[in-house]
Amino acid sequence: MPGKGRAMLLSRFAESLYWAGRYLERAEATARLVRVHTELFLDLPRAAGVGWSPLLAVTGAGEEFLGRHTGPDEDDVVAFLAIDPKNRGSILASIAQATVSLQLSRVLLPTASFEVVTKLHDWAAASSAEAIDRRTRLDWMDEVIGRCQLLAGSLAGTMCDDEAYGFLQIGRYLERADMTIRVLDVQAGILVGQPAEDAGGEPYHDLTWMSVLRSLAAHQMFRRSQGSGVPGPAAVRFLLREERFPRSVEFCLASTARALAQLPRAALPLAGCAQVRARLRDLQPAEVDTPGELHELADDLESGIGALHDELARTYFRLEAAPPAVVEPAEIRI
């Protein structure tokens, strides 16, 4: 008998867990971006002209930012990305939305994990001023990353690997894949382009592409898996296809497919996922060698993930309700 002895997941909870996964991942990823960019900024000479706009581009919020500010001033950009409640993608707003989503589905979460969420939210809101000041910024970002990982660990260590956990994981992995693709897209010039003469020359060029890897927590793992040689295209391939690196696009999609395979009625979402992976598998060497082609590849991957998201929503989140029958209210007297 289908479902015998198994708790079925309500569609409403599936959706809120999926979003909780996405927002938690976004908070952690954005903290890492800001952290790494701050360190890079401290190392580079002012003449290098590295500003804060690439961060806005990666998070896809450049237009919204420029609508409210005159230019990409450091404090403004960091405040916008870290604590601006009006920027839905800011670290604080992401944590708040993840907390609300988890609150809505808390009935499914281990109590101890829920305490971790509550504490993360309270801490981030109370200490938000520390996110801006350069003296405290790096520590604050580290703390965000650490607490997000504490939550991920608490869930992984105490929650059944069931449908509810599956949707959390799918949300996390799709957001992570998205972030990796957007970083590649925005930083394509640094990774596979020619070093610009006026940007301070060779040593600084190394510094910037290394920091791109760091912003995805990929630098050390890339180094361990890579020999000598031209690092740019190899790094791009690593971020796209390294099946053992947990932030590569392939790893994220493979994990998504594994989680989907545990879910009922997963044929269409699985097909969507397989399509994006096929695009990755059939990669031509030229596509990772020049910034222009890399942009196109990134566009393809992003729209593939977008389509996968839509398919998830169609299959699991929006079960059509029969319209309620219209019946006269019964008389409540005797």
Distance (Å, rounded) from C-alpha 31 to C-alpha 109? 25
163 within 8 A of 14, measured Cβ to Cβ = yes
Contact status: 106 vs another protein (CB under 8 A)? yes
The tally of CA atoms less than 13 A away on the side-chain side of residue 186 is 21
Residues 187-246 that bind another protein (CB under 8 A): none
Based on the shown chain and the rule CB under 8 A, indicate whether residue 334 belongs to the binding site for another protein.
yes
Interface stretch with another protein, choices 2-10, 87-95, 242-250, 277-285 (CB under 8 A): 2-10
Binding track over 251-280 against another protein, x by CB under 8 A = ------------xxx---------------
From residue 162, alpha-carbon distances to 243, 251, 277 in Å are 24, 20, 24
The correct pick among 73, 75, 122, 299 for binding another protein (CB under 8 A) is 122
* Contact between 163 and another protein per CB under 8 A: yes
Q: Can residue 126 be called a binding residue for another protein (CB under 8 A)? A: no
DSSP codes joined into one string, 316-330:
II-PPPPPPPP-PPP
Q: Which of 10, 125, 234, 307 binds another protein (CB under 8 A)?
A: 10
Q: Mask of contacts with another protein, 288-317, x by CB under 8 A? A: ----------------------------x-
- Considering Cα of 85, then 142, then 98, then 316, what sign does the dihedral take? positive
Least Å distance, CB 80 to another protein, is 26
When binding is defined by CB under 8 A, the residue of 38, 118, 136, 226 that contacts another protein is 118
Contacts with another protein by CB under 8 A lie at 2-5, 7-12, 14, 103-104, 106-108, 111, 114-115, 118-119, 122, 163, 167, 263-265, 316, 319, 321-322, 324-325, 327-334
